[in-house]
């Protein structure tokens, strides 16, 4: 394997630097996965390092799977002897072996977000906490944040004794952790938190894994939080052969705990670190990269790095200022149709990227009317569907009968005459005896006085579950699923309904069986525990099918790690992207700018950035100026789109001067059928303000054809235009630019 012929100079240096701490600053599209896979292959084939001594961590199962496939193509089956997985999957693997040292059984359940909500609700009810005082979502977020920062419930309680509200949160946190342990369950955050706890409390266990993993590689290091940082630091402490790969310019998860300081301070944490920058991009056209460089260079908290490419310049960045969000959707739709027709593109070549999921609705409506196939990444996941969660709860309970949350879900699903009152009595008695609910059900005759019908139903349920538990280790997971959906009568109930939704649910259950069959054919560990882990740890992006011929609609966050020939970044307005909070906070603004950088660098060939003069947000019409990020792109790299010369007249380009709020005036209707938010009286007549610029002043009454009558609150110069803040009588306060506001004096 001649590495010099396969890699550029910086890549080669990164691949062949093995001993000691190494920081690889990998710009977008610079071939970091290639570097990691060749580095592993070089270690195994050229340096004879045994694969089991290598630990490679990345953030998604999809990325881990791709990396393992690439390594396997280079070194063969030896790749099976090394760990290439996500943080959470690696921790589960360790905990399955060692968690008994923390007082748990090794067949612990992993609770997903639904299970968390159920357990938190139980805690709130027991502690008599009103949802209006503290919401369940707030409690989950607070507890998650503490675990990410390795703060125990006891410590959090001690630190917040004097704060009434946070003291209540601490009470929930303590009870929640107690219930998790009683249920022999961990939530998602616990997987790393408990592994760190295990290592800190058991030096012999830590030393074993330090000896085992002498070479550690962490991908996407900029996205690590405190608990992940601590886990890596503990494992790497002995040999210090740690290689981290990341891009501080792509740190976009600070809102969920990622700490950019982990990558910025790596050289302080590990003295004698070698730093290698991968700046050559193999993905995007030059103009796209230059635009990304323009924007990210405005951040101060970053390592200096400039993307470069040998690709040609390509098209300029296309900007489009729509009348409304509907017009924006129609424009995107028309461009997709046009490019498909003229350049022989497939629908899978296009991605619509937005800041928030709420923006998807308009594009869904427009694409349906335009017969454009699309798929949303981030919608209802397969494993979140009711019928799937029901059967998965059966499987989780069969695997771990201490799991009261799963038991409550399945005990009367399908209906078997065990009502909520009976279940509550069982749960309360179990809590008073400090036992799991199933233990009470096993002796239901002796411990509780219940109606004969309820007792009979419970006994049948217990007999059913016991039969599943006996089958668990004798038959395959797919066969167990079939047995559950048939023996419980679940599928028969759906067949009896005979409606379209029930037919769809039956198809979903068949798909679950297929998923289990696929798991059995590809997984070395074919146990029920392994299947449950795989399903619980799967993320939405793991199921992304790159070959499906449909336009992808997703948030910029979800798009990280993906690439598309044509990208539309929509909703590029101050207040949306960046969000209003970012405009008031420099640190949040820098993260928003990094997010914009990530979105831009998803594009390979063409990039569109669109905005709207008005859009409906939370049921009301709002008007935002164009995103500041658009003004940060050099004029030579961008141009406003002129659809068949039908709508945009740029006027004197010298007046543009990179003014972020400049908007082209609209002179004619577009060719597609869309109801405009403004009325154009004559197709060839340019819309002009009847109010002269020199007469504009604070305090005067004006009329806007959409927002109605309002009073000018303030007037300020903004480049070659005038920024007006107007308080409208029925539509609230709006910030508008005089050049496009179409105002009349009242």
Q: What does pLDDT average to over the chain?
A: 87
pLDDT digits (tens, 9 = 90+) for 459-499: 999 999 999 999 998 999 999 999 999 999 999 998 888 77
719 is in an annotated binding site: no
Output b/e per residue, 525-562; b: 16+ Cβ within 10 A: eeebbbbbbbbbbbebbeebeeeeebbbbbbbbbbbbb
- Using a 10 angstrom Cβ sphere, with 0-12 exposed, 13-18 middle and 19 or more buried, the burial of residue 607 is buried
Quick: pLDDT tens for 308-324.
999 999 999 999 999 99
Element (H, E) at 702: strand 701-704
pLDDT one-digit tens code per residue, 352-403: 999 988 888 889 889 988 899 998 886 556 777 899 999 999 999 999 999 9
State whether residue 51 is helix, strand or coil.
helix
Side-chain-facing half-sphere of 114: CA atoms under 13 Å: 16
Q: What is the mean pLDDT of residues 246-251?
A: 93
Q: Is 31 annotated as a binding residue?
A: yes
Backbone angles phi, psi at 58, to 5 degrees: -135, -175
Residue 581: exposure state from Cβ atoms within 10 A (0-12, 13-18, ≥19): exposed
Q: What pLDDT does 349 receive?
A: 96
Report CA-CA distances (Å) from 286 to 292, 298, 308, 315.
Answer: 10, 19, 7, 9
Report the percent of the chain where pLDDT is more than 70: 91
Task: State yes or no: 32 annotated in a binding site.
Answer: yes
How far CA 509 is from CA of 162, 491, 506, 567, in Å, comes to 51, 8, 5, 35
Q: Which residues are bridge partners to 324 per DSSP?
A: 614
**Distance between CA atoms of residues 649 and 643, nearest Å:** 11
pLDDT level of residue 687 (50, 70, 90 thresholds): very low
**157 or 697, which is more confident:** 157
**Confidence band for 618, pLDDT divided at 50, 70 and 90:** low
Burial degree of 565 (CB within 10 A; 0-12, 13-18, 19+): middle
Where does residue 510 rank: exposed (0-12), middle (13-18), buried (19+ CB within 10 A)? middle
Token digits for 523?
Answer: 């997984």
Lowest-pLDDT choice from 4-8, 327-331, 477-481, 704-708: 704-708
* Nearest of 351, 316, 287 to residue 562 by alpha carbon: 351
Question: Is 679 annotated to bind ligand?
Answer: no
**Can you tell me which residue has the tokens 């007549």?**
685
> Whole-model pTM?
0.76
Q: Which of 132-136, 211-215, 534-538 has the lowest mean pLDDT?
A: 534-538
Q: Is 273 annotated as a binding residue?
A: no
**% of the chain residues with pLDDT over 90:** 64
Q: How far apart are the first and last CA of the chain?
A: 78
Whether pLDDT at 522 is above 90? no
Reported as a pLDDT band with limits 50, 70 and 90, residue 668 is very low
Banded pLDDT at 541 (limits 50, 70, 90): low
Q: Give the strand pairing for 603-617 and 620-622.
A: antiparallel
Q: Can you tell me the distance from the alpha carbon of 26 to that of 35, in angstroms, rounded to the nearest whole number?
A: 10
Identify the band that residue 543 occupies on the pLDDT scale cut at 50, 70 and 90: low
Q: What H or E segment, with its residue span, contains residue 328?
A: helix 325-343
**Which residues are known to be catalytic?**
32-33, 219-220, 250, 602
**Residues in contact with 222: Cβ distance below 8 Å, sequence separation at least 6, in sequence order:** 246, 247, 248, 250, 251, 258, 260, 262, 263
Nearest CA to 293 out of 629, 646, 743 is that of 629
**Which tokens hold the place of 311?**
């690709």
Q: What are 350's strand-pairing partners? A: 566
321-325, 407-411, 615-619, 678-682, range with the lowest pLDDT: 678-682
CA separation for the pair 607, 566 (Å, rounded): 6
pLDDT at 284 over 70: yes
What is residue 542's predicted lDDT score, i.e. its pLDDT? 60
Beta bridge partners of 244: 23, 218
> Residue 442: enclosing H or E segment and its boundaries?
helix 437-442
Query: Cα torsion for 709, 711, 717, 718, to the nearest 10°?
Result: -50
Q: 627: pLDDT confidence band, cut at 50, 70 and 90?
A: very high
List the single range of 143-147, 508-512, 536-540, 655-659 with lowest mean pLDDT.
655-659
Tell me, what's the pLDDT at 547?
Answer: 72
Least Cα distance to 364 among 356, 374, 354 occurs for: 374
Does residue 679 register a pLDDT over 80?
A: no
Q: What is the per-residue pLDDT for 511?
A: 84
Q: Say yes or no to pLDDT of 138 above 50.
A: yes
Tokens of 275: 């730093």
H, E, C per residue of 502-570? HHHHHHHHHHHHHHHHHHHHHCCCCCHHHHHHHHHHCCHHHHCCCCCCCEEEEEHHHHCCCCEEEEEEC
Q: Is 27 annotated as a binding residue?
A: yes
Q: What is the pLDDT of residue 347?
A: 95
Q: Which residues pair with 280 in a beta bridge?
A: 308
Between 653 and 377, the higher pLDDT residue: 377
pLDDT tier at 448, thresholds 50, 70, 90? confident
Checking if the pLDDT of 676 tops 70, the result is no
The residue ranking higher by pLDDT, 708 or 124, is: 124
Checking DSSP bridges between strand 743-745 and strand 701-704, what pairing results, if any?
antiparallel
| Residue 599 among known ligand-binding residues | no
Are 716 and 663 in contact, with CB atoms under 8 Å apart? no
29 annotated ligand-binding residue: yes
Task: Please list the alpha-helical segments (H only) found in 135-276.
Answer: 136-148, 153-159, 164-182, 188-201, 203-212, 226-236, 261-264, 266-269
How much is the pLDDT for 381? 64
Closest-CA residue to 348 (of 379, 372, 315, 378): 372
Q: Are 613 and 740 in contact, with CB atoms under 8 Å apart?
A: yes
């Amino acid at each position: 394997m001649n590495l010099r012929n396969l890699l550029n100079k910086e890549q080669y240096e990164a691949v062949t630097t093995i001993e000691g701490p190494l920081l690889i600053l990998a710009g977008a599209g610079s071939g970091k996965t290639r570097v990691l896979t060749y580095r592993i292959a070089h270690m195994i084939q050229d340096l004879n390092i045994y694969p089991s001594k290598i630990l490679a961590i990345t953030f998604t199962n999809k990325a881990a799977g791709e990396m393992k496939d690439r390594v396997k193509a280079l070194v063969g089956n030896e790749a099976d002897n090394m760990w290439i997985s996500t943080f959470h999957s690696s921790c589960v693997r360790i905990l399955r072996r060692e968690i008994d040292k923390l007082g748990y059984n090794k067949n612990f359940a992993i609770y997903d977000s639904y299970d968390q909500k159920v357990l938190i609700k139980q805690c709130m009810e027991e502690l008599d906490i009103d949802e209006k005082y503290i919401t369940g979502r707030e409690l989950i977020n607070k507890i998650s944040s503490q675990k990410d920062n390795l703060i125990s419930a006891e410590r959090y309680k001690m630190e917040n004794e004097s704060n009434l509200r946070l003291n209540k949160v601490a009470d929930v946190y303590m009870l929640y952790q107690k219930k998790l342990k009683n249920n022999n369950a961990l939530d998602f955050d616990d997987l790393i938190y408990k592994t760190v706890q295990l290592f800190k409390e058991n030096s012999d266990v830590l030393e074993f894994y330090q000896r085992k993993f002498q070479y550690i590689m962490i991908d996407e290091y900029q996205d690590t939080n405190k608990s992940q940082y601590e886990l890596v630091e503990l494992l790497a402490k002995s040999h210090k052969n740690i290689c981290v790969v990341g891009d501080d310019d792509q740190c976009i998860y600070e809102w969920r705990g990622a700490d950019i300081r982990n990558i910025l301070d790596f050289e302080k944490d590990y003295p004698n670190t070698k730093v290698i920058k991968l700046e050559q991009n193999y993905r995007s056209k030059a103009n796209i990269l230059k635009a990304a460089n323009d924007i990210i260079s405005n951040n101060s908290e970053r390592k200096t790095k400039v993307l470069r490419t040998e690709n040609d310049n390509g098209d300029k960045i296309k900007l489009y200022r729509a009348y409304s969000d509907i017009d924006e959707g129609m424009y995107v739709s028309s461009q997709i149709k046009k490019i498909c027709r003229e350049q022989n593109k497939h629908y899978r070549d296009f991605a619509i990227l937005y800041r928030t999921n709420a923006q998807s609705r308009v594009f869904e409506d427009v694409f349906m009317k335009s017969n454009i196939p699309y798929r949303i990444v981030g919608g209802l996941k397969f494993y979140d569907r009711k019928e799937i969660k029901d059967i998965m709860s059966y499987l989780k309970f069969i695997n771990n009968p201490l799991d009261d949350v799963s038991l409550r879900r399945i005990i009367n699903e399908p209906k078997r005459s065990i009502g909520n009152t009976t279940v509550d009595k069982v749960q309360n008695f179990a809590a008073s005896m400090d036992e799991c609910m199933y233990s009470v059900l096993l002796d239901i005759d002796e411990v509780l006085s219940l109606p004969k019908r309820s007792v009979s139903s419970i006994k049948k349920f217990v007999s059913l579950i016991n039969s599943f538990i006996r089958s668990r280790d004798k038959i395959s997971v797919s066969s167990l699923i079939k047995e559950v959906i048939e023996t419980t009568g679940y599928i028969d109930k759906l067949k009896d309904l005979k409606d379209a939704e029930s037919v769809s649910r039956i198809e979903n259950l068949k798909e679950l069986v297929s998923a289990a069959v696929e798991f059995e054919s590809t997984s070395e560990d074919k146990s029920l525990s392994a299947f449950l882990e795989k399903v619980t740890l799967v993320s939405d992006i793991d199921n992304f099918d790159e070959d499906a011929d449909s336009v992808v609609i997703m948030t910029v966050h979800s798009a990280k790690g993906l690439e598309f020939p044509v990208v539309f970044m929509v909703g590029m307005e101050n207040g949306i992207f960046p969000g209003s909070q970012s405009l008031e906070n420099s640190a949040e603004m820098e993260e928003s700018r990094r997010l914009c950088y990530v979105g831009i660098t998803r594009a390979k060939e063409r990039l569109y950035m669109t905005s709207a003069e008005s859009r409906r947000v939370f049921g009301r019409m709002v008007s935002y100026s164009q995103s500041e990020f658009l003004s940060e792109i050099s004029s030579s790299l961008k141009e406003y789109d002129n659809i068949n010369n039908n709508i945009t007249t740029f006027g004197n380009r010298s007046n543009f001067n990179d003014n972020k709020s400049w908007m082209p005036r609209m002179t004619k209707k577009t060719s597609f059928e869309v109801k405009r938010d403004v009325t154009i009286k004559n197709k060839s007549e340019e819309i002009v303000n009847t109010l002269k610029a020199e007469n504009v002043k604070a305090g005067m009454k004006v009329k806007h054809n959409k927002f109605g009558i309002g009073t000018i609150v303030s007037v300020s110069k903004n480049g070659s235009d005038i920024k007006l803040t107007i308080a409208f009588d029925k539509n609230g306060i709006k910030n508008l630019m005089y050049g496009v506001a179409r105002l009349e004096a009242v």
